[in-house]
Amino acid sequence: MGLFNKLSEPIFLKENSEAEKQLEKLKELETLLNEEGRAILKQDIKCLEYGIIGEKNIAFELKNSHMPMYILHDVYLEYEDFSAQIDYLVFTKKLCFVIECKNLYGNIEINNSGDFIRTLEFGVKRKKEGIYSPITQNQRHLELMKKIKLEQKSNVLTKFMVEKSFENINKSVVVLANPKTVLNAKFAKKEIKDKVIRADQLVKYIKEMNDASKEATTSDDKMLSWAKSYLDLHKDVERDYTAKYEQYKLDKYISSIENTKIKKNKEPEDIDHSKEGKELKEIEENKKIKKCEEFKKTETSEKSTKSQDVIIEDTEIFKELKVYRLNKSRTEKVKPYFIYNDSQLKDLISKMPQNKEELKLVAGFGEVKTNKYGEEILAIINKYECIK
């Protein structure tokens, strides 16, 4: 079999990154935002660029590993209500390495409880803060990969084989990509310590883990097939990176309407017969009609195979529900897709539930989510209810 194993260098089957697209979108926003928005945007761009640099550092190490392996960069997987954004999947002839890249600034300490603590220095002052464990984050990625593989198997025996071998052939590793970061893991447990390395140790780590593995060595073809099985699972998801900045956009028209609303609220409603008041009422009525017409067009587009009227992602209700999702995710410190993903959002708009029982019929909305978010979501939907 060795005669047919020609691969001697690493090959990227997927090298592009969603972060690059996000960066382009954010840079286009700068001139459209007010001063506060630009300050937030610049900080977000800085963090994003920092992350991209970290991932490029890892790509450089992998490309110069001179090892026969296949590499996938920025893989997005979905299963039921769960999803995972994986920085790198590296396939050797024995193992798959699930890599979480962290380009963290500051020094990192891992204590004996497995907590990650970052120390930031500001001149003579130091600030310590806890950060979410990237090991826990990566473990969730592995669990999702396992669920998907189990689902693909059709009988009890093959499911048992996946269950038995999965942890042996899939290895989690967190890579600290910032060369200036000092890692202090002397009090960490061995199983934690072994999963966190610096970028310049990555190739050595892969080689040592691969050599130490008792798994059978596969052929080039099987290694490629293994990598492609995950490449085929990858989903290109359209994301709205601009929703966060909507409230900071420079829109003189909206601003003038809001000022008019304030003036109106200061006067008794029953004696407001001014030209300004009539114009405001007319604007508000037109806005309401426009929302109704827009939603009706969207509803029609869901039923037809080709629609040239309205793209659902461009509608006001879609944007508002995305903003709500983003705000909730920040409050609860979870990923936005834990609230609901884009396909569930589209189903939500398609069904337009009017109560909690109808909301439960929407994909991804069980008893827990309905009770937790139902009232607020229904309140948003009711704003776009059209009078026939």
Q: Of 231, 255, 278, which one is at a domain's C-terminal end? A: 231
Q: For the residues 185-203, what does the mean pLDDT come to?
A: 93
Task: State both tokens at 110.
Answer: 């891992």
Q: Alpha helix locations (H) across the chain?
A: 18-29, 35-63, 134-152, 156-169, 190-193, 202-212, 220-231, 252-265, 275-303, 316-332, 342-351, 356-359, 367-383
209 & 307 share domain = no
Q: For the residues 157-174, what does the mean pLDDT come to?
A: 94
220 & 252 share domain = no
**Higher-confidence position of 323 and 250:** 323
Band (pLDDT 50/70/90 cuts) for residue 270 is: very low
Q: Is residue 237 part of a domain?
A: no
- pLDDT(258) > 80: no
- pLDDT(238) > 80: no
What pLDDT sits at residue 294? 52
Band (pLDDT 50/70/90 cuts) for residue 86 is: very high
270 & 318 share domain = yes
- pLDDT(201) > 60: yes
Q: Determine the Cα–Cα distance for residues 198 and 179; give it in Å rounded to an integer.
A: 8
What pLDDT sits at residue 289? 53
Q: Could you tell me which residues are beta bridge partners of residue 11?
A: 70
221 & 249 share domain = no
186 & 334 share domain = no
Q: Of 173, 196, 231, which one is at a domain's C-terminal end? A: 231
Q: How many helices (H) does the chain have, and how many strands (E)?
A: 13, 10
252 & 197 share domain = no
Band (pLDDT 50/70/90 cuts) for residue 213 is: very high
Band (pLDDT 50/70/90 cuts) for residue 302 is: very low
63 & 130 share domain = yes
Q: Which amino acid is at 347?
A: D
23 & 169 share domain = yes
- pLDDT(67) > 50: yes
What pLDDT sits at residue 259? 57
DSSP class of residue 238 equals -
Q: Is residue 238 part of a domain?
A: no
223 & 250 share domain = no
Residue 377 is part of which domain span? 243-383
